[in-house]
Each structure stands twice: as C-alpha cells, then as structure tokens.
Amino acid sequence: ATASLGVAAMLYGGWAWWAAEDRRHDTRVLFRQFNHELTRQSGADGDELRLRLTDSRLGLSQNRLVPDHGRLIHLFLIAEEAGTGAPAFAHLHPRDTGNGSFSALLPELPAGRYRVFTELSHAAGMTQTLTNTFVLAAPTSPGGSDPDDAWSDSSPMTNEGVSVGDGLTLRLETADVRAGEPVVLKTRVSWADGSPAPLEPYLRMLGHAAILRDDGVVFAHLHPAGSLSM
C-alpha cells in the first residue's frame, strides 16, 4: 500500500510538473502572434481604425509594450492592388485608449483591400509584427491622429522614380536582386532638377523602408542606420 501511494504521488507530481512546463512554454516561450481585432468606425472627426489586443499574454510583465522610435504602435496599411503605380500606403501611430485598445484616424486613402502590419515592441526585448487585412469600401476623408503619421495614395511610377510631393522624387537604385543573396537597398531623394534633397530625421531615422513580397507573406521595416531590437 505504501509503495502504491508513493508511485501515485510520483505520477501526480510528474503530471503537475509537465502541465506547468507546458503552460510556461505555451505562454512564455513558444512564439505565437498576439490575438487582436481590427475594426473601422465612422465618426464626426472622420474614419477611425481601432486596434484591440485581445491576447491574455499581454498581461505578463515581459510582454508590456514599450516605445520604439517614440511610439508604442507602428501600423502600416498597404493596398493590395495598384496597377502600374506605387500602392496606396499609410504609416500610422494609433493612440492608446486603455485596456489594450488603440485608435487612429485614417488619412485620405482610396477604396480597396489593404494588408495591415502592426509592429509591437515588448519590455523583454522581443518585437513582433501582427498581420491582418482590411477593406475600405469607399475612399476615406482627410484625417490623421498623430503629427508623424505619413501616407500616400497610388502614385504613378516612371523611369525617374515616384513623386512624393513638394517637387521631390524618390528613386530605387538597387539592381541585380537575386533570391537568397544579400542585397544593399539604395534610394535617392532628389529635386526636379536632379539635385539631392537634404534630409531630416523622421521618427529618429533619416529613412524608413517598408519591404513587402508580392504575395504579402514577407514584410520588413528597415532603416539605413540599422534595425535593432530593444
């Protein structure tokens, strides 16, 4: 009887240990994109995009959100179809409304289906990019919640590059891109006469590049000075 109780206690202890390790691995080790919801609401101030983080792991101390480039949230909207031009694009910084919820006024964008990439940085140093899709049934009215929000509608592309407004043109000069090999991305921002335009820091960097594979499976947000995790 004593031996049976001892074996039973060992089996129960082993099961409890395994269950605890499984929970720890599931909540603290194994990476899974945070569960979240993305909705749109029209109001007096314009069209509002709302992000709500619904994942219980957000309550863990190591998953507390910390600013990156001075903002808790970096949200990218990229149109899926743009014809022969550059797709409509927006880089937004939703404001914190409490309880894991964030909201941003949408800028002026054309109707269509958009891929959504939301970047988060956590206190433990981990970063992640949430992925989603979003449909605008009609064009949005001019808006924007943060002075550092940036956006562009579909722009025609020429051999000289893409017009980015104010008489400026952005041109991608990278050539000989091959899958599986390192590539140095080079861009040039110039005035109409071809002279180089002086640059000033935007969100603490002189440049930001959003790289998207044509099927939307790969997305990267890069900077000339490097992209380092917190």
d(CA 202, CA 94): 17
pLDDT digits (tens, 9 = 90+) for 35-78: 999 998 887 777 889 999 999 888 888 889 999 888 999 999 99
Q: Which ranges in the chain belong to alpha helices (H)?
A: 2-24
pLDDT of 29 over the 70 cut = no
Classify the phi-psi angles of 186: left when phi > 0, otherwise alpha if psi is within -120 to 50, otherwise beta: beta
Q: What angle do CA 58, 63, 68 make, to 5 degrees?
A: 115
Q: Which ranges in 25-116 belong to alpha helices (H)?
A: none
Instruction: Give the position of tokens 């069209």.
Output: 47
Q: What phi, psi does 97 have (nearest 5°)?
A: -110, 10
d(CA 221, CA 65): 18
pLDDT of 27 over the 80 cut = no
Q: Are the CB atoms for 204 and 189 separated by under 8 Å?
A: no
Q: What is the pLDDT of residue 230?
A: 41
Instruction: Give the position of tokens 């031996």.
Output: 3
Residue 114 tokens read as 């958009």
| pTM of the full structure | 0.81
Q: What is the pLDDT of residue 143?
A: 72
Q: Are strands 161-165 and 157-158 parallel, antiparallel or unpaired?
A: antiparallel
d(CA 52, CA 50): 7
d(CA 204, CA 68): 10
**191-216 mean pLDDT:** 88
pLDDT digits (tens, 9 = 90+) for 127-186: 899 999 989 888 887 777 788 998 888 777 777 788 887 888 988 888 788 888 888 888
